[in-house]
Amino acid sequence: MDIIQQLTKCKDETLPYFQLGIKDLEKTYSSGKWSIKKILVHLADTESVLHERIKRVISEPKVIIWAFDQDRWCEHLHYADFPLDVSRQMFEANRNSMIYLAQHFYDSHGATNFVHSETGLRTLKDEFDKVVLHNQSHLNQISAALSK
């Protein structure tokens, strides 16, 4: 499956979860872990961060990209109370843009390097692939939570 198919498949699998009822949104995949709602808000925020990174790498090769603390975002941005519809719209818009960017730049600019503040030297292809891997990891967590 190519990157466009992977990005589209993850998007299509993720979007319906934003429509879950409150009882399902409160479920967690393990004790002490984020609820499905917090995972969805996190996915939307991460999608916007990764989208900005990808645009920056395309436009400003060899840029340094800074990590962000997902737990601090969850706490300080009040993920438990954040409007889920806003997160859904953010997720969908950013993903649609990333699909467009992947269509135009994944192959032609994929080897473009940048430095991540925690993981070091990476490429544009690495970052696009990370979008899919990150999304799929959280889809697995959501599935596990719903199966409890």
Domain with 104 in it: 3-146
Q: Tens digit of pLDDT for each residue in 103-132?
A: 999 999 999 999 999 999 999 999 999 999
DSSP bridge pairs for 115: 64, 121
* CA dist 99 → 72, 91, 109, 119 (Å): 28, 12, 14, 24
| Per-residue confidence (pLDDT) for residue 126, from 0 to 100 | 97
Q: Strand 113-116 vs strand 64-65: parallel, antiparallel, or unpaired?
A: parallel
Task: Give the length of the chain.
Answer: 148
Q: What percent of the chain has pLDDT over 70?
A: 100
| Per-residue confidence (pLDDT) for residue 148, from 0 to 100 | 85
Work out how many domains the chain is built from and give that number. 1
| Per-residue confidence (pLDDT) for residue 97, from 0 to 100 | 98
* CA dist 81 → 22, 69, 117 (Å): 12, 19, 30
The mean pLDDT value for 85-93 works out to 98
Which H/E stretch holds residue 116? strand 113-116
Q: Tens digit of pLDDT for each residue in 37-57?
A: 999 999 999 999 999 999 999
CATH number at 27 reads 1.20.120.450
The answer to whether 4 touches 103, Cβ cutoff 8 Å, is yes
